[in-house]
Amino acid sequence: MKIKAAVVDKVNDPFVIKDDIDLAEMTPTDLQIKIVASGICHSDEAIRRGDASLGYPVILSFYADGTCDNCLKGMPTKCRNYADYNLSGTRPDGSDHFQENGQHISDMFDQSSFTTHTVVDQRNAVKVPKELDLRRLGPLGCGYVTGSGTVLNSLQPRPGQTIAVFGTGAVGLAAMMAGKISGCTEVIAVDIVDSRLELAKELGATHAINSKEEDPVEAIKKLTHGYGVDFAVDTTGVEPVMVSAIHALAQGGTAALIAVTSKNITISSWNDLCVDDKKVIGVNMGDSIPGVDIPRLIDFYQHGMFPFEKTEKFYKFEDINQANADSGSGKTIKPVLIIDEDYVPGK
Ligand SMILES: [Zn+2]
C-alpha cells in the first residue's frame, strides 16, 4: 500500500513529505493504523540530527516482545532486545517497515507516525476511549509516559517528599505533574525560559526557578530547610544542569537523568554521592508498561490532575519542519502534527 510520510533522507536534512512510500504487508499479529495526529518528541529530532484500521481508536508506544525474561517479569522497557526492536529502523524480524522505490527507509520506535498509515504489532497499540480527542492523546505514548513514569514508577515519592524538575519541556512538565499527583509538598521547576516557568506554575509547580537569574542549587536548598530535594529529574541533558540536579539532592536523594543526550558529566564518587548517600539513575521510557500507564494517565487527565493538553499546539502535517523548529527553540512545548484533517473527535 502507498502512503504519505515525512522522510529524512540523510542526517540533518529537513523532513520531506513524500506520497509514494510503500508500507509493509501485515503479519497475523499486526494492526494497520490510520494516523490522526502525531506528537513530535526531542528523540525524533535527536535521530534526525544523527545523535542518537480498527473498530476503536488506539495510540502507539514502543515495542517489546513479551517473551524475554524481563518482559515476562512485567518490565517491557528493559526488554532484552529493546534497542534492536525500537531503534534499529526495521521491523522486529529485520524486514523493512517502509520502502521508497524498493529502497529501505528507517522507521522510528518500530512504527513511525509521521505518516498517513502505519503497520504495527498489536503490542505497540493501547486502546483509548472513543469519546476523547485522539489528536491530543498521541504524545502520551512517548514523552508524557516517560516523564510521568520516571516519577510514578521509578522514583515513587511518598506524600510529603520533595522533587525538583530541571527543564520544563513536555517530559519535565509530565514529571512535575506526577510529583504533584504523588503528594510532593515541594514541586520545584527549573528552566531558563520565563514563559515555560509560568506554565509550570499553572500546571502545579509550587516554585519556579530561573537558573539564569539565580543558582538553582542554592534556591532549592532555601526552599527545603537547607537540605535539598528528595528527588531530582533532569530532562535537559546539559552537563552543568545534570550536575546541579545531583547537587540539589538531600541526603539519601535520587536523581534521574533521562534526556536523550551524548553529553558526559564528571562527579566525585565520595563528595557528590557516597557521603550523602545519593543515587543517580537512568530510566528508559519511564519504566512504563504502556497498556497500564497510558490508561492511568488518561484517568488522571479526565480528573483534571494531568492537564497535558495545555502544552500542546497543533500544526499541519506539511508544517513539520516549522513544528520541529518551534520545539527546538522552546516556542512550542509539544507540537502535534494533524495528519488527518477530516478527523472529528468522538466519531
Ligand atoms: Zn522482551
Range of the domain at 263: 145-286
Do both 128 and 160 map to the same domain? no
* DSSP-derived pairing of the beta strands 162-166 and 229-234: parallel
Q: Ligand 1: distance of its center to the CA of 264 in Å?
A: 29
Do both 177 and 247 map to the same domain? yes
Do both 162 and 282 map to the same domain? yes
What pLDDT, on a 0 to 100 scale, did the predictor assign at position 67?
93
- Classify residue 61: in a domain, yes or no: yes
Do both 245 and 327 map to the same domain? no
Do both 311 and 270 map to the same domain? no
Q: Ligand 1: distance of its center to the CA of 89 in Å?
A: 18
- Classify residue 300: in a domain, yes or no: no
- Classify residue 220: in a domain, yes or no: yes
Residues 248-301 pLDDT 10s: 999 999 999 999 888 999 999 998 999 999 999 999 999 999 999 999 999 999
Do both 175 and 197 map to the same domain? yes
Residues 133-191 pLDDT 10s: 999 998 898 889 999 999 999 999 999 999 999 999 999 999 999 999 999 999 999 99
Residues by chain with Cβ below 5 Å of ion ligand 1? 64-65, 68, 71, 79
Who has greater pLDDT, 108 or 185? 185
Overall domain count for the chain: 2
Residues whose CB falls within 8 Å of the CB of residue 55, separated by 6 or more in sequence, listed in order = none
Residues 42-91 pLDDT 10s: 777 776 776 654 345 788 888 899 999 999 999 999 999 888 888 888 88
Do both 32 and 130 map to the same domain? yes
What pLDDT, on a 0 to 100 scale, did the predictor assign at position 53?
44
Q: Ligand 1: distance of its center to the CA of 109 in Å?
A: 14
Q: Ligand 1: distance of its center to the CA of 78 in Å?
A: 7
- Classify residue 229: in a domain, yes or no: yes
Q: Ligand 1: distance of its center to the CA of 62 in Å?
A: 11
CATH number for position 151 = 3.40.50.720
CB 41 within 8 A of CB 142: yes
Do both 149 and 137 map to the same domain? no
Do both 117 and 221 map to the same domain? no
CB 52 within 8 A of CB 36: no
The rounded mean pLDDT for the chain is 91
What pLDDT, on a 0 to 100 scale, did the predictor assign at position 91?
84
Q: Ligand 1: distance of its center to the CA of 63 in Å?
A: 9
What pLDDT, on a 0 to 100 scale, did the predictor assign at position 181?
97
Who has greater pLDDT, 315 or 89? 315
- Classify residue 194: in a domain, yes or no: yes
CB 330 within 8 A of CB 193: yes
Q: Ligand 1: distance of its center to the CA of 233 in Å?
A: 26
Do both 127 and 199 map to the same domain? no
- Classify residue 295: in a domain, yes or no: no
DSSP 88-136: SSS-TTS--SEEETTEEE--STTT--SBSEEEEEGGGEEE--TTS-HHH
Q: Ligand 1: distance of its center to the CA of 269 in Å?
A: 33
Q: Ligand 1: distance of its center to the CA of 76 in Å?
A: 6
Q: Ligand 1: distance of its center to the CA of 98 in Å?
A: 24
- Classify residue 343: in a domain, yes or no: no
Do both 178 and 46 map to the same domain? no
pLDDT over 70 for what percent of the chain? 97
Do both 87 and 203 map to the same domain? no
Q: Ligand 1: distance of its center to the CA of 341 in Å?
A: 36
Radius of gyration over every alpha carbon of the chain, rounded to an integer in angstroms: 20
Q: Ligand 1: distance of its center to the CA of 70 in Å?
A: 6
What pLDDT, on a 0 to 100 scale, did the predictor assign at position 161?
98
